[in-house]
Chains A and B, each alone.
Chain A
């Protein structure tokens, strides 16, 4: 079974600074998807960024980028120029691309606090 581990229950960063959230996963598959989801307080979870395992290039979405190390099974999220609105729980997640296997396996999350 696939597992996702987030070893940082809480992180904090000064506004405008850069922070990196860690995620490791365990799988025997070679083709899969990895995701970072953001869950603001009392709001729905939204997709931040997605990475296909077959792509060597790290995904980037504006201020959010990932460092995908397939051999190490590591998938960290870097948030640049942190803003107050980035405060949330961040969940790393994994899924298989095959039809019928799109369900996500989540880590336990990292609570990110932005210090003004």
Chain B
């Protein structure tokens, strides 16, 4: 395992459907982050985990969004009742030390 992996890389869905993204962090990293990146913008923080505990959630994370990290390993990000405004790249990152995040290639969501 040489990096952060995300699956699927691209998801096309119809408005109103639920989608789930998975992130596998670098194995020894105990911190895991989710960011959202829309076209032409920098990534925006959504939430992060220290081991299995979700320590912070951005106000960007509406109640349609839920993230989990069972057993402190992989994480899932679920979006319920998708809207067109949810179309974005969802980036996962992991870290050991402060601020030095290692990113995955992202999961691109297109909501039709």
Instruction: List residues of chain A with CB under 8 Å of any chain B CB.
Output: 4, 33, 35, 37, 42-47, 50, 91, 93, 95-100, 102-109
Contact = CB atoms under 8 A, between A and B. Distances in A.
Given A44-B104, A44-B105, A106 B44 contact: yes
Contacts of B31: 102
Interface of B: 3-4, 31, 33, 35, 40-45, 48, 50, 55-56, 91, 93, 95, 98-106
A102 B102 CA distance: 13
A45 B44 contact: no
Given A45-B91, A47-B101, A103 B56 contact: yes
Contacts of B99: 33, 35, 50, 93, 95, 97, 102, 104
B44 to A, nearest CB: 7
B4 A95 contact: no
B30 to A, nearest CB: 11
B56 A104 contact: no
Interface centre among A4, A33, A98 (most CB of B within 10 A): A33
* A-B pairs with lowest CB-CB distance, top 4: A106-B42, A95-B99, A45-B103, A33-B99
Nearest to B95: A102
A44 B43 contact: no
A22 to B, nearest CB: 15
A107 B98 contact: no
B45 A103 contact: yes
Contacts of B102: 47
Contacts of B106: 44
A47 B33 CA distance: 15
A1 to B, nearest CB: 11
Contacts of A93: 42, 99
Given A43-B105, A44-B105, A100-B50, 12 more contacts: A33-B99, A37-B103, A44-B3, A44-B4, A44-B104, A45-B91, A45-B93, A47-B102, A93-B99, A104-B45, A107-B42, A109-B42
